[in-house]
Structure 1
Amino acid sequence: MKNYLNLLTDIQNSILYLTINREDKLNALNKDTLAEIHDCILAALHDESIKGIIITGKGEKAFVAGADIKEFSNFNAEEGKNLAKEGQEKVFDLIASSKKPVIAAMNGFALGGGLELAMACHIRIASQNAKLGLPEVSLGLIPGYGGTQRLTELVGKGKAFEMILTADMISAEDAEKVGLVNYAVESTDLLPKATALMQKILSRSPEAIAAAIKAINAFDHTQSGYQAEIEAFGTCFVTQNFKEGVAAFLEKRKPNFH
């Protein structure tokens, strides 16, 4: 496994520990980090010595606190669509369709693209200090990396509507209650729990695991919903409220939507 600028990688007992290493930015997903995640996951899928992947964030504050908003603050509709499409295909869908099991160990804030990254993983474990949410509508946007689809699949329409439309965060404990995470654990137990669960999975037939992942992903799953999200995400970029939402975020004030 090669060295990355924004990622730390460690392979132990056939498990790749992939740590997003932008602690000073709360591990936000910028373009370079997404490109590195794509490269790292792809390499892991082709490495026969790696049987499973655990994704976490550096530090104690954040798993991933969202996308790097500055990078797309001036995008038009077409650029917005391309941002969502490329991210979904190269990172989020790549993880979701991985024939090797992927567990998200959520060590803090998992917001926006960070929660979408966790939802693309097959299993989620959160530390009890974690806060989860999709705050995009507070920026005049919607989730663009599969969030509208995967959150609905995990928690149902009612809770998905509430979380996305209010932009509110929920606790790890509440996330466990609604099925958004499999377990909420003490922070010191996070990686041990993820490791123990992965080791149990890896004790099973790898061909059967790959087949099961493929079959589960096929459950009531169509690409039309993801395409609708990409289109709707792109149209947000031409609204004045998106410009106001981003400006308010960067200026650390409340937005004045019209």
Structure 2
Amino acid sequence: MDPDQYTTLRVGIDAGVARITLDTPPVNVLSGTLIRELHDVLGVLRDDRSVRVIVFSSANPEFFIAHVDIHILDEMAGLAEIADRNPDANLFQGVGELLRHQPQVTIVKLAGKARAGGAEFVAAADMAFAARETAGIGQSEVLMGIVPGGGGTQYLRERVGRNRALELLLTGDLVDADTAAAYGWINRAVPASELDGFVDQVAERIAALSPELIAAAKELVPPADLSDGLRAENTAWAELVSGDLPARLMTGALELGAQTPAGERDLESLMRRVAARP
């Protein structure tokens, strides 16, 4: 692997652990380029038996993945080849399904915020650990007039149960790391000052195991088959996203500062201001 081939990722491999840092300034939106490069790097690592754990983090301490790039609908034709790789899932679900079925153990280190497509990424990984004082996670699509389209409905129901999934889906609220851990959305919250060391310890302990042990554990605790739910989610998302309301809300969000650091710090309030416009 040539780490220099990527423009949105920094990749390093040491002692069986691949560390992938997401780096798409200013707020790490899930762009078309990031989707392409995630597919590529995970495809390369899939066949690398020397790598037993993959740790994802962000170059931006405030934002892990802010959400899917609002402009990505303009790129869909150019992303068709990526989408076609997984006929049972749409382009956005394909990222999560790639993570869920990766042979290595996948871990998210969440120091900042992850919303919508970012929250789906977190839930698709095998494990996630978050900084108590600074992390936040939210399934915020309802504020843009849509439902999640990247697996969020299915991943949430599996992780937190139907009642909490409905709460998180329908309020669109950002929750803190302690709440996310209590709900089961992430593994646990740890003090921000200890997050790096804690995740390194978990990753290194797992990487010290034989590939056969890791493979056996993942085979005995497989990801659920969510195919039917993902198809239903895609149908609902596609119907909603083609309407007038999402376009109006997303345009208004960009006007008020979405996809900038200032606007993304409290995206929920920004989106509610857009929705309240006459």
**CA contact under 8 A between 2:28 and 2:66: conserved in structure 1?**
yes
Tell me what 1:151 maps to: 156
Give ranges in structure 1 of 5+ residues lacking alignment. none
Contact 1:135 1:164 in 2 (8 A): yes
In the alignment, which residue of structure 2 is the partner of 1:13? 15
2-structure distance, mates of 1:201, 1:124: 14
Q: In the alignment, is residue 254 of structure 1 matched against residue 274 of structure 2?
A: yes
Conserved? CA contact 2:32–2:75, under 8 Å = no
Shift of 1:74: 9.7
Alpha-carbon offset, residue 257 of structure 1: 8.4
Aligned match for 1:244, one of 245, 248, 269: 248
CA deviation map 1:71-111 (0-9, x unaligned): 22798xxx9xx69612322x211110111100010110011
8 Å CA contact 1:29, 1:66 repeated in 2: yes
1:119 aligns with: 123
Task: Mark the CA change 1:256 to 1:72 in structure 2 (over 3 Å): closer, same or farther.
Answer: farther
Q: Percent identity?
A: 28
Q: Which amino acid aligns with 2:194?
A: D
Using the alignment, how far apart are the partners of 2:49 and 2:140 within structure 1?
38
Which AA in structure 2 matches 1:104? V
The within-5 A match list for 1:51-130 is 51-72=52-73, 85-89=90-94, 91-128=95-132, 129-130=134-135
Matched, 1:178 2:183: yes
Report deviation, 1:11.
1.1
For residues 217 and 229 of structure 1, what CA distance do their matches in structure 2 show? 21
TM-score between the two structures when normalised by the length of structure 1: 0.90
1:140 to partner: Cα distance: 0.9
Conservation of the 8 A alpha-carbon contact between 1:249 and 1:255 = no
Does the 8 Å contact 1:54/1:104 carry over to 2?
Answer: yes
1-structure distance, mates of 2:209, 2:57: 24
- 3-state SS of the aligned residue for 1:251? helix
Distance in 2 (CA, whole Å) between partners of 1:142 and 1:211 is 35
Match of 1:227 in 2: 231
CA–CA separation in structure 1 for the residues paired with 2:216 and 2:165: 28
Deviation at 1:150, TM superposition (A): 0.5
Q: 1:51 to 1:218 in 2, by over 3 A?
A: closer
Q: C-alpha root-mean-square deviation of aligned residues, in Å? A: 2.3
Indicate the residue corresponding to 1:30 in structure 2: 31
